[in-house]
Amino acid sequence: MTSRRDAILSGASRAAELHTELGLRKRLAAGDRPVDVMDVMRELGLTLLFRPLNSLLGAYLPGAGTPGVLITTQRDLHVQRFTAAHELGHHVLHHMAASLDTDVGYVGRGDPGNYDNQELEADSFAAEFLLPKWLIVAHAKRHQWGRSDLKNPDTVYQLSLRLGASYAATCWALLSNNLIDRVTVNALVSTPPKTCKQRAIPDFQPESWRRDVWLLSEHDRGVHVLGNPDDLLVLTLEEHVSSGYIWDVAPITTVGLLIDIDDRHDLGDGAIGGPVTRRVVAHGAAQGHIRLEERRPWSKADEARSIFEIDLAMIGSQPEGLPSWDRLIAA
């Protein structure tokens, strides 16, 4: 390998090849979930173990037999996922030396300077593997976000949650995929995600704004949410109360979520008897499928007016041991 530019290009192109080899582009075309990097490692026969590493984010150990990857338990889910993708990069790029990683990061954020080209190549792989343009576009399409929406930090924050990546990594991915320009990325990264969270739920004051806030709407029908137990899920659905239809939200609690808020807002168009917005805010270490129905409660025989289904894996950063979420979001 000759230059830093070659390293970046080679990492990214290996990621694109692997998407093709694994059929991921087709499997994720609906824009309904992030790349399941842990599941890909399993598919490729890598041994993955979470350990309380203090000075390292992760390590790649090529070994003589089964290659192995260690990831620290001391960091959040998004850092664990990016580190896992970086270590996967060392593997599929056939790096022969063990790599002990104290830092991994998004290549587009600027040149870390003291990096060797092999680390740069693995970072470039990780960014392209987790945040390829086609996946960003698939999620944007589902939510009807246009290019101008990608300048809005609130939209980018919601996109980052759906890609299973940090807000900052998502900003840099938008730049390197030419979806925004450099002026925009600078404005975006200077906006703390906390302000996006506060705007998402202005009437709620959690004890910590470290919690993520998911704004879920009809566009999220059928998606797989990968998040943390204390993330706030803000579900808003149109409800036709005046014609007697009400969302039965009871199934929300059966998967282990606790409801923080359950209220209704009118849509603000001034029409009397028009649909309202039903809002349910919930959190918890939920895993599983939820199916909600909007129906007339007294009329058992009636068809549901609409249905909302979603899969949740609110399991957070991985504890010591083998990965536990690998079959939860695999496409």
Site for Zn ion, rule CB under 5 A = 99, 101, 119, 122
Residues β-bridged to residue 294: 247, 306
The gap from C-alpha 158 to its chain's centroid, in whole angstroms, comes to 9
**Least distance between Zn ion and beta carbon 90 (Å):** 6
Nearest CB to Zn ion, comparing residues 32 and 119: 119
Nearest CB to Zn ion, comparing residues 122 and 292: 122
Nearest CB to Zn ion, comparing residues 101 and 220: 101
CA–CA separation, 38 vs 35, rounded Å?
Answer: 9
Nearest CB to Zn ion, comparing residues 101 and 294: 101
**Least distance between Zn ion and beta carbon 85 (Å):** 11
Q: CB nearest Zn ion: which residue? A: 99
Place of tokens 């909302």: 308
Q: Where are the beta strands (DSSP E) in 81-137?
A: 99-101
**Least distance between Zn ion and beta carbon 49 (Å):** 16
**Least distance between Zn ion and beta carbon 61 (Å):** 11
**Least distance between Zn ion and beta carbon 130 (Å):** 15
CA–CA separation, 296 vs 276, rounded Å?
Answer: 15
Place of tokens 């002990």: 100
Whether the CB-CB separation of 274 and 297 falls below 8 Å is answered with no
- Per-residue DSSP letter, 229: T
Nearest CB to Zn ion, comparing residues 36 and 101: 101
Start-to-end CA distance of the chain, whole Å, equals 34
Q: Please enumerate in sequence order all residues whose Cβ is within 8 A of that of 241, keeping only pairs 6 or more positions apart, or say none.
A: 264, 275, 276
**Least distance between Zn ion and beta carbon 152 (Å):** 34
CA neighbours closer than 13 Å in the CB half-sphere of residue 317: 18
In the numeric block, which tokens belong to residue 43? 């598919």
CA–CA separation, 313 vs 29, rounded Å?
Answer: 20
Nearest CB to Zn ion, comparing residues 124 and 228: 124
